[in-house]
Amino acid sequence: MEAPFTIFIVEDDPWYGQLLHYHLSLNPEDTVQLWTSGQDCLDNMHLRPDVVTIDFSLPDISGDKLLARLRLRWPEVPVIIISAQSKIATAVQLLKAGAADYLVKDDNTKDLLWNAIQKLRETNALREQVKRLEDQLQNKYDFSKILKGHSPAIEGLFGLMEKAAQTPVNVSITGETGTGKELVAKAIHMKSGRHKKPFVAVNMAAIPAELLESELFGHEKGAFTSAVARKIGKFEEANGGTLFLDEIGDLHPAIQSKLLRVLQERELQRVGGNEHIKLDVRLITATHKNLSEEVKNNNFREDLYYRIIGLPLLLPPLRERGS
């Protein structure tokens, strides 16, 4: 079933206005309002129309100025321009200014307008469907569904995860193997403002040290013997989203310094390349080790430790989560 629309027609020619009003009213679900001036339209925008059609040549305000005022105050409402002018330059200018469509007045206008509104209706339906799917996806990553348990430790963790999702700071997760560190990282990402962007997970312990730099930062063709083509690294893959570095405590010292520089500069150079690539990445790290002890034992750089620690989360072991 089609969603009902409230449609505003702004047309100073009584006969033409009534023609469009009659044609669009053939859909009994819709509410069609006819206004004869731009000011009448503006005064009644509190009725929350789903689409506004305006004649380009109104007596009190030109179509381009009315479009500008509508876009400024009600940017979510699509505006269709109907004009006797057939100049392509005028149409292009108005479409660039934000008009949803531009129709030339002729014998086919009423049918073209009907089709344009149907397309807007379909777009709205798709947008609503995407919103429902996004809500379902976010609900899938509800913290209480990711981690089971009702102990004080797990309830406290949920509160910190909520803070992590609402702030852009780096997050460091510590917990025993099998406690769900990647699930926690993914849930934080899905609840954050970056949820529409990539979530890229890398297990640092699973990648040989000699390949890790290329895996993280990418490489150019010919950077080394087996580099037969350019490779995009994980940082670039995650640009705009979240990069999850699991088992960060196992990171080779040589890569630690390079990672630190990338985090400090918020840019990277691919191996064998000269281009500086800007980054916008939210970093979440995880380890089963005590990183502060690793720093004391000179196994982990202190400056890198303070760069990644951000908001620390300690995942309680399964035995301490309650039923």
- The conformation of residue 171, written as its DSSP 8-state character, comes to E
Distance of CA 161 to the CA centre of its chain: 20
Specify whether 57 is located in the same domain as 115. Answer: yes
d(CA 190, CA 134): 10
d(CA 37, CA 102): 19
pTM here? 0.59
Q: Is residue 174 part of a domain?
A: yes
Supply the range of the domain harboring residue 291.
146-320
Distances, alpha carbon 295 to alpha carbons 175, 262, 265, 306, in Å: 17, 20, 22, 10
Residues facing residue 285 across a β-bridge: 172, 245
Number of domains observed in the structure of the chain = 2
Question: According to the model, what pLDDT value does residue 144 have?
Answer: 63
Q: What is the pLDDT of residues 72-103, one digit of tens each?
A: 999 999 999 998 887 888 889 899 999 999 99
Specify whether 286 is located in the same domain as 179. Answer: yes
CATH code at position 11: 3.40.50.2300
308, 292 Cβ separation under 8 angstroms: no
Question: According to the model, what pLDDT value does residue 278 have?
Answer: 94
Q: What is the pLDDT of residues 235-287, one digit of tens each?
A: 999 999 999 999 999 998 889 999 999 999 999 999 998 899 999 999 999 99
Specify whether 92 is located in the same domain as 173. Answer: no
Specify whether 67 is located in the same domain as 101. Answer: yes
- Among the three residues 107, 137, 167, which one is the final residue of a domain in this structure? 137
d(CA 216, CA 208): 12
